[in-house]
Amino acid sequence: MKKKYILLIGILVFAVYPIGICAGVSGPSPSMTPQAPNASNMMGPAAHNALQNALQLEEKAHSLVDQAMEQGLDVSEIEDMVEKGCALLEKAQKIVRVNPIPAANMAREAAQIYEDAISDLEALLG
């Protein structure tokens, strides 16, 4: 009967105090432990992709605005659209590391504005 109690106490000791702690071996340091998945670290790549897409569209929109201005066409309304997209994109770039979801949404909205502007400019340029 005593042997059963000793065995039970031994099992409880090992359950409460893992072997690594008893032997003086510590686990990974807290700075080395992997982060649990959350919305911020999972959405980061998607936000960066949206930003890259918007940046490419921004470049194309500016190029077409320059072409239209060289031809003497009135593109003041389209320029305003492009500037609105630029403001959104700039704000998205500032917050992408901290708030990737709103940044991605802003980048997508800017991309849509650029696409509309590009479409108008291509129709205007013929």
Question: pLDDT for 39-75, tens place per residue?
Answer: 556 778 889 999 999 999 999 999 999 999 999 999 9
Q: Which two tokens stand for residue 29?
A: 């340091």
For residue 106, the model assigns a pLDDT of: 96
pLDDT bin (cut points 50, 70, 90) of residue 19 is low
For residue 32, the model assigns a pLDDT of: 47
For residue 22, the model assigns a pLDDT of: 46
Whole-model pTM: value is 0.67
CB-based contacts of 35: which residues, under 8 Å, 6+ apart?
Answer: 41
For residue 90, the model assigns a pLDDT of: 96
Q: In 10 A of CB 21, how many CB atoms?
A: 11
Please state the rounded mean pLDDT for residues 80-94.
Answer: 96
